Amino acid sequence: MSDGAAIAGPDGVLRCPWALSTEDYVTYHDEEWGRPVHGDDALFERLSLEAFQSGLSWITILRRRPGFRTAFADFRIEKVAAFTDDDRDRLLADPGIIRNRAKIDATLANARVLAGWAAGELDELIWSHAPAPATRPAPESTSDVPAVTPESTALSKALKKRGLRFVGPTTAYALMQACGLVDDHLADCASRNRKTAS
């Protein structure tokens, strides 16, 4: 077995190696990561959480996701777009989230931009950057999984051009992985190609 290849967990199921470090990751890997996500609010949540993750481990964000959802009105774009300065102060004092001023400000600014878009426009823009599955061979090990791709760079540019912030190519690619635009489960992973739209 090559370094970084799929590993069998205590239950005998082969998974991507990163998934086995905590139970939270096992659940996220098996039930969410790489499965198609649609809907403007759902994609706004994922985009926001990926931005908050920048510079941190994903487990930090994953374990605080309930707090994020409470703090940001379940990431309903229209509601977050209407947040006031008092709401911003509340967020900056909320121990249930990552209290990073720049990331909070970007999330609020992004919601205000997205509130002006037509229904389904964010979904359409993001999914228009999904590469054809046939062009992407299944990664054999974690070393075969990129951090940035031409598609994520193009998505980042498209989002920035439309006024969104904290959407660099690496964040865009993490979004693509999390939301099923690409399937980066390893070739031997039990979750490979097992997709259910949410």
**Residues with catalytic roles:** 28, 50, 58
Angle between helices 169-178 and 40-53 (to 10 degrees): 130
Q: Is 179 annotated as a binding residue?
A: no
Residue 163's nearest CA partner among 125, 129, 112 is 112
Distances (CA, A) of 159 to 71, 78, 126, 154, 186: 24, 18, 8, 9, 28
For 75, half-sphere exposure in the C-beta direction (CA atoms, 13 angstrom radius) is 19
The torsion of the CA quartet 11, 17, 23, 28, rounded to 10 degrees, works out to -110
Q: Is 16 annotated as a binding residue?
A: yes
Residue type, 56: L
Q: Is 185 annotated as a binding residue?
A: yes
Binding residues for Zn(2+): 16, 29, 185, 189
Residue ranges for the known binding site are 16, 29, 185, 189
